[in-house]
Amino acid sequence: MNYSKNQLKELIVQKLRLNYGCTEAQANDGEMMKACAMVLRDIMAEHGVETRQRTADEGGRMVHYMSLEFLMGRSLAKNAYNLGVLDTLSQAIDELGFKAADIFDMEPDAGLGNGGLGRLAACYLDSLTTLEIPAAGYSICYELGIFRQKIVEGQQVELPDDWMGLGDAWLLRKPQDAEEVHFGGKIRTRWDNGHLMVVHEDYTRVLAIPCDMEIAGYGTDHVNTLRLWEAKSPSPVDMALFNQGQYLRADEERTMADAISKVLYPEDNHYEGKSLRLKQQYFFVSATIQSITRKHIQTYGRLKNFHEKNVIQINDTHPALVIPELMRILIDDAGMSWDDAWEITTHSVAYTNHTVLAEALEVWPQSLLETLMPRVWQIIQEISRRYQAKVEEFYHDGVKTAKMAVIWNGQVRMANLCIAGGMAVNGVSALHSDILRHDVFREAAEMEPEKFKNVTNGVDHRRWLAQINPGLTGLLNDTIGDGWLLRPAELSKFDAFAGDAAVLKRLEEIKLANKATFARWAKRHQGVVLNTDAVFDVQVKRLHEYKRQLLNVLHIIYLYQQLQDNPNMEMRPHTFLFGAKAAPGYAVAKRIIHLINSLANQIDNDPICKDKLQVAFLENYRVSMAEILMPASEVSEQISTAGKEASGTGNMKFMMNGAVTVGTLDGANVEMHQVLGDENMFLFGLKADEVARLRENYDPRLLYDRDPMLRRVVDQLKRGFSDGVSYEDLWQRLLQRTDSPADQYMLLADLPSYAEAQQRLTAAYGERDRWNTMSLHNIARSGIFAADRAVAEYADTIWHVHHK
C-alpha cells in the first residue's frame, strides 16, 4: 500500500481532531508528533492483522524473543522509513505548517534498556520483521526508562526518564488480553481421580496488561509485535467492603503491582541481587509464557507440539525462569509427565550469553525463590537434581559436578539453569564463544558440544547507516546501487571504488558536513563549541572499568603533558569526545566521569591547547544522540581489556559510518580485523591469552617504577587539575589496591602500545588519500555486521525457521 502526501495529511488532521480536539493550526509540536505516530500505527496495525492471519494459515514456527530490555530509541522516522513514507510524511508535516525535523525531534527515546544488550534486541526486531520471520518481542513496559544524565559540577546526577507522556503514542493497551501472575503463597498437593494435583494457595496476584508496539519491516508488509507488560493491581474495589485479611492482601497486591513495572534497573554488566528485580523477572516470564501457551492452545488445541511451533530466545539469563515456568504450565496445567514436559521445554528455549564478567553472572539465593515463587522453586530443585545426576554419570568428578550445579551452597545459578534446560547456548562473537566453550562453560561444553554455538552480533544497518547518514547513503546508491539495503553483503561492491579520487573526495566532504551538523547540535544541546578542523575521536558506551575509558584519559593526559613541555609543538588538532552513563551505584565509574570533566575543563582553559587539543563529555548519551554522532565520527575507540567485551556493537555502527577503529583484539573487533587487515584499523595491546597469562603475576608497580612516562601520567591523577579535585583514589586503583589486584584491567600494561597506535593513527590521518581509503574499506566491509546476517544465522542454526 502506498500513501500519497495528501492522504497522509488527511489522516493526520483527522487524528488531531479525534484525539486532541484541535485543528492543525491549533496543535502543538507534541500533539503533531503523536498524531503522526498514531497514523503510522494504524497502517501497521492493519498489516499486523494480515501478517498474523498468514502466519496462522502457514502453521510455521514462531520466534519469541524475550528480553528484560529493548532499547528502541525513537520510532517515528524509523517506521516511516521502513514503510517507505519518510519523504512523503516529512512533506505532509511541512505542508501542515510544521517543521518535519522539529516534529521528529519531539519524540522521546524509548529508553527501555541499558546499552548493548537492549539495543541488540531492538535491532533484531527490525531484522526479524524485514526477513519476514513470524516473531514477537517481549519485555516490561517500564514507566521510567534508563535515567537521564545531567552533569552538575563535573559529576553525574540521575534524573527520572518519564518517557510515556509523549512516547506512549506507539502503544496499544490490551486489557482484554491480560494475564495473572501469582507470587508467594503455599503449595499443597491433593489426589483427584487418581491424579496428584498441585494446588497453589494464598498467593499474591498481579495483573499483566499487554501494551503492544507494532514493528514494521523494510520493504515488506510483514509486521511483528513487541509486547510490553504493564503491572497492575487486580483489585480496584472499595476496600471498606472487605474484612481485614482481604484488605491487607489487596494492599499487598497494590504495592507489588505499583513497584514491578515502575523502573528499569540501571545496572549494565553487573548483577544486582534485589528482590524487586527477581519479581520483575518472574512477572515478565510468567505473563509471557502464559500468553504464548494460551495462543498456542487456541491455534492447535493442545501443547504436545509446542516446541514444533514455537522457539523462545532468551537475551542473557534474565528471563531464565521461563524454563521452570514452562515446565510448571506443562505439568500442573496441561497434566503432562515430567519427561514429556522436559522434552518440550528443552526443545523450545535457547539462551544467548552476553558477558563473561564474574560480577555479572546471575545467582539468586534459594530462599528468595522459595518465598516468591514456591512452585517454580520445586521445579528448579528437580531440574537441578536430574542434571546433577546426568553430570555425575558423565564425569564421575566431584569438582566438575560442583562447578556445573544449578543449585549450590544455597544459590541458584541462572546460567547453569539455562545450559541444563536450553537447546542451544550461544556467545555473541567468535572470541567470546570460544571463551565460553573453553573457559567459562568448559565442562558443560565438553559434555554437550553440539549445544554450544556462536552468532556474532549485528546492528540494524538501515537505521545505523541508511536512515542516519543520508550523505553516505546517497554516495553508496550512486556507486553500487541500493541493493545493499536488503542485502548488506553487497556493500563490498564499494571496495572497487578505493582508487577513485572523486569518490574519496566525496567521502571526505560527507564526513566534514556530518561533523559540522554534529557540532551545531552539540552547540545547541550541550553548549560546547567543537573544533571541526580536528579529528573527531569518539568513545561512547556505558562507563565500565573494563571498557577502559580511563586508558583513553591517561593517553590524553600524556598528550597534554607533552604540550606543557613544548607549547609550540606541531600537533594535528584532536578532539576527544566521550559519552557514558555510569550505574548510579558504581562509585569508581562516577569518579571517572568526574575526571573526564576535570580534564576537559583544564584543557579548555589552557591557551596552549587551543586549536590543538580538546576534550568534551557529552551529557546523556542515548540512541538519538548516537544517531547524529556516528556519521560525524572519524575514530572509534574500542579499547577494552582483551577477553572482557563479549562483542561490542557500537564498534559496528562506527565502522559502517566510515570511522576507523583503534582497538584491542576483543569481541567483534577480532572479526573486524579479519576483514580489514592491519592496514585498515589500528590494533594495539595484549591479546586475550596474553592477558590471561600475564594476570598470574601482574605487577603494575614494576611498570610504574620502570617507565617515567607512565609514572608522570599516572601521578597527574594524584595531583589533579586546577579545579582542585584529586583523583588519588583512581591512582590507588591502578597501583595499590588492598581488596583486589591493582590495575585489574591492565591499563598500565597497554598504555605504551595504545599511545603508539594513536601516533600511527594521527600520521595516517595526515595522509588524506590513505585515510579516506581506509574509511572506504571500513564501510565496504561492514556488511557482515548487519543484523540481517546475524538473525539469518539464528534462524538457520538455532531456530530452524525460514526467512527471506
3-state DSSP percent of the chain in helix, strand and coil, to 5: 55, 15, 30
Q: What residues between 67 and 96 interact with ligand 26Q by CB under 6 A?
A: none
Q: Does 664 bind ligand 26Q (CB under 6 A)?
A: no
Among 129, 269, 598, 641, binds ligand 26Q (CB under 6 A): 269
Q: Does 750 bind ligand 26Q (CB under 6 A)?
A: no
- Strand intervals (E) in 297-416: 310-315, 349-352, 363-365, 407-408, 411-413
Torsion angle, alpha carbons of 106, 110, 116, 121, to 10: -120
Among 34, 309, 354, 777, binds ligand 26Q (CB under 6 A): 354
Q: Does 667 bind ligand 26Q (CB under 6 A)?
A: yes
C-alpha grid cell, residue 254? 497494590
The residue written with cell numbers 496543535 in the block is 27
Q: What residues between 434 and 493 interact with ligand 26Q by CB under 6 A?
A: 457
Within 8 A by CB and 6+ apart from 747, the residues are 548, 550, 551, 554, 700, 734
**Binding-site string for ligand 26Q from residue 114 to residue 143, where x marks contact by CB under 6 A and - marks none:** xxxx--x-----------------------
Among 647, 669, 758, 782, binds ligand 26Q (CB under 6 A): 647
CB 509 within 8 A of CB 631: no
Least distance in angstroms from the C-beta of 117 to ligand 26Q: 3
| Helices 470-480, 501-526: crossing angle, 10 deg rounding | 160
Least distance in angstroms from the C-beta of 268 to ligand 26Q: 5
Measured between alpha carbons, how far is 643 from 686 in angstroms, rounded to an integer?
10
Residue of 34, 653, 733, 781 marked catalytic = 653
Triad 741, 744, 750: Cα angle to 5°:
130
Q: Does 672 bind ligand 26Q (CB under 6 A)?
A: no
Q: What residues between 399 and 438 interact with ligand 26Q by CB under 6 A?
A: 428
Q: What's phi and psi for 723, nearest 5 deg?
A: -80, 0
Q: Give the dihedral sign, CA 357/358/359/364.
A: positive
Confirm whether 547 is a catalytic residue. yes
CB 650 within 8 A of CB 668: no
Residue of 270, 328, 413, 547 marked catalytic = 547
Q: Give the interface segment with ligand 26Q, choosing from 46-54, 125-133, 263-271, 785-793 (CB under 6 A).
A: 263-271
Q: Give the interface segment with ligand 26Q, choosing from 151-159, 214-222, 338-346, 354-362 (CB under 6 A).
A: 354-362
Measured between alpha carbons, how far is 283 from 617 in angstroms, rounded to an integer?
38
Within 8 A by CB and 6+ apart from 677, the residues are none
Q: Give the interface segment with ligand 26Q, choosing from 16-24, 574-582, 639-647, 734-742 (CB under 6 A).
A: 639-647
Q: Does 265 bind ligand 26Q (CB under 6 A)?
A: yes
C-alpha grid cell, residue 383? 531440574
Q: Which of 13/123 has CB closer to ligand 26Q?
A: 123
Q: Give the interface segment with ligand 26Q, choosing from 108-116, 439-447, 743-751, 778-786 (CB under 6 A).
A: 108-116
CB 44 within 8 A of CB 83: yes
Within 8 A by CB and 6+ apart from 799, the residues are 61, 63, 311, 313, 350
Among 3, 138, 271, 765, binds ligand 26Q (CB under 6 A): 271
Q: Does 549 bind ligand 26Q (CB under 6 A)?
A: no
Burial grade of 25 (CB within 10 A; 0-12, 13-18, 19 or more): exposed
Q: Which of 273/335 has CB closer to ligand 26Q?
A: 273
C-alpha grid cell, residue 459? 546492528
b/e map 374-405, b = 16+ CB within 10 Å: bbbbbbbbebbeebbeebeeebeeeebbebbb
Q: Which of 303/428 has CB closer to ligand 26Q?
A: 428
**Binding-site string for ligand 26Q from residue 280 to residue 319, where x marks contact by CB under 6 A and - marks none:** --------------------------------------x-
Q: Does 267 bind ligand 26Q (CB under 6 A)?
A: yes
Q: Give the interface segment with ligand 26Q, choosing from 54-62, 75-83, 646-654, 757-765 (CB under 6 A).
A: 646-654
Least distance in angstroms from the C-beta of 646 to ligand 26Q: 4
CB 474 within 8 A of CB 434: no
Q: Which of 224/647 has CB closer to ligand 26Q?
A: 647
Least distance in angstroms from the C-beta of 786 to ligand 26Q: 15
- How many residues of this chain bind ligand 26Q (CB under 6 A)? 25
Confirm whether 541 is a catalytic residue. yes
Q: Which of 31/267 has CB closer to ligand 26Q?
A: 267
Residue type, 163: W
Residue type, 698: Y
Q: Give the interface segment with ligand 26Q, choosing from 112-120, 220-228, 494-502, 513-521 (CB under 6 A).
A: 112-120
Q: Which of 688/713 has CB closer to ligand 26Q?
A: 688
Using CA atoms, how far residue 7 sits from 23, 249, 441, 722, 771, in Å, is 16, 53, 57, 61, 47
Confirm whether 718 is a catalytic residue. no
By beta-carbon distance, which residue lies closest to ligand 26Q? 116
CB 597 within 8 A of CB 155: yes
Q: What residues between 721 and 740 interact with ligand 26Q by CB under 6 A?
A: none
Among 67, 204, 286, 355, binds ligand 26Q (CB under 6 A): 355
Q: Which of 204/281 has CB closer to ligand 26Q?
A: 281
Q: Does 333 bind ligand 26Q (CB under 6 A)?
A: no
Q: Which of 631/648 has CB closer to ligand 26Q?
A: 648
Measured between alpha carbons, how far is 373 from 394 in angstroms, rounded to an integer?
31
Triad 742, 746, 752: Cα angle to 5°:
125
Q: Which of 69/212 has CB closer to ligand 26Q?
A: 69
Q: Does 652 bind ligand 26Q (CB under 6 A)?
A: no
- Strand intervals (E) in 339-465: 349-352, 363-365, 407-408, 411-413, 424-427, 452-454
The residue written with cell numbers 557514558 in the block is 580
Among 384, 649, 657, 680, binds ligand 26Q (CB under 6 A): 649
Among 179, 268, 460, 671, binds ligand 26Q (CB under 6 A): 268
Among 13, 63, 360, 776, binds ligand 26Q (CB under 6 A): 360
C-alpha grid cell, residue 397? 568428578
Within 8 A by CB and 6+ apart from 192, the residues are none
Least distance in angstroms from the C-beta of 264 to ligand 26Q: 9
Measured between alpha carbons, how far is 215 from 130 in angstroms, rounded to an integer?
10
Among 362, 460, 627, 637, binds ligand 26Q (CB under 6 A): 362
Q: Which of 120/213 has CB closer to ligand 26Q?
A: 120
Q: Residue 328: in which H helix or E strand, if any? A: helix 322-328
Least distance in angstroms from the C-beta of 350 to ligand 26Q: 15
Q: Which of 312/557 has CB closer to ligand 26Q?
A: 312
The residue written with cell numbers 554522532 in the block is 629
Q: Does 545 bind ligand 26Q (CB under 6 A)?
A: no
Q: Give the interface segment with ligand 26Q, choosing from 110-118, 207-215, 342-350, 628-636 (CB under 6 A).
A: 110-118
Confirm whether 542 is a catalytic residue. yes
Measured between alpha carbons, how far is 680 from 700 in angstroms, rounded to an integer?
31
Torsion angle, alpha carbons of 137, 138, 139, 141, to 10: 90
The residue written with cell numbers 496499544 in the block is 172
Query: Interface residues with ligand 26Q (CB under 6 A)?
Result: 114-117, 120, 265, 267-269, 271-272, 277, 318, 354-355, 360, 362, 428, 457, 645-649, 667
Catalytic residues: 354, 541-542, 547, 649, 653
